[in-house]
Amino acid sequence: VQFVLAVTRDVTRIRAAAEELRRETALLEALVNSSLDGILVVNHQGQKVAQNEQFDRLLKIPPHIVGQHNDKERLEFVTNATKSPQKFLERVEYLYAHPDETGRDELDFKDGTVLDRYSAPVRGKAGQHYGRIWMFRDITERKLTEAKVEALNKELIASSHQSGMAEVATSVLHNVGNVLNSVNVSSTLI
């Protein structure tokens, strides 16, 4: 009887823990899927553990690659879409080879898209390595705005420079006029 009661208590605790785990998993999935950033989590073998739909949208991943767990074809597709494929791939390989490092950089794509990429190791509380998280944010509009601001700034500097030159010329002409006026008054007196 006591054995049955002990087993029943254990089963009840396991069910409660499983329910808590399901609740926490649902919360985590809701957070990941509601993010405006594209998120991909891979294990230490490079296999997809989790990702959100925004990841596929931002990186324009074709449907035949979306469902795959192995990161190889996804990585190849994204690499070929960048303006600097070799640089992109070297950085990915470096971060995979150095699991404790984080990385942040900007990616320029052939279609004009610019993404901010952040990557960090996924570690447990005891320090065990579970893989890597990759996060992508579209900063194309910000980069275009920065370029416009820079162009306007250069234009303003050029206009200021021209305005300054005009002011100097006006000052010189004024001084020359004063000298000529003085010569004119002197010649009239003579």
C-alpha 39/C-alpha 55 separation (Å) is 5
Please tell me the predicted confidence (pLDDT) of residue 35: 86
Find, among 107, 130, 118, 129, the residue nearest to 59 by Cα: 107
CA 21 to chain centre: 31
pLDDT tens per residue across all 190 residues of the chain: 788 888 889 899 999 999 998 998 888 888 888 788 999 999 988 888 888 999 999 999 998 888 776 778 888 999 999 999 999 999 999 999 999 999 999 999 999 999 999 999 999 889 899 999 999 999 999 988 888 888 888 888 887 777 777 777 677 667 767 766 776 677 777 6
DSSP reduced 3-state for 29: helix
Please tell me the predicted confidence (pLDDT) of residue 137: 96
C-alpha 76/C-alpha 85 separation (Å) is 9
Those residues whose C-beta lies under 8 Å from the C-beta of residue 134, and which sit 6 or more positions away, are 39, 40, 41, 42, 117, 118, 119
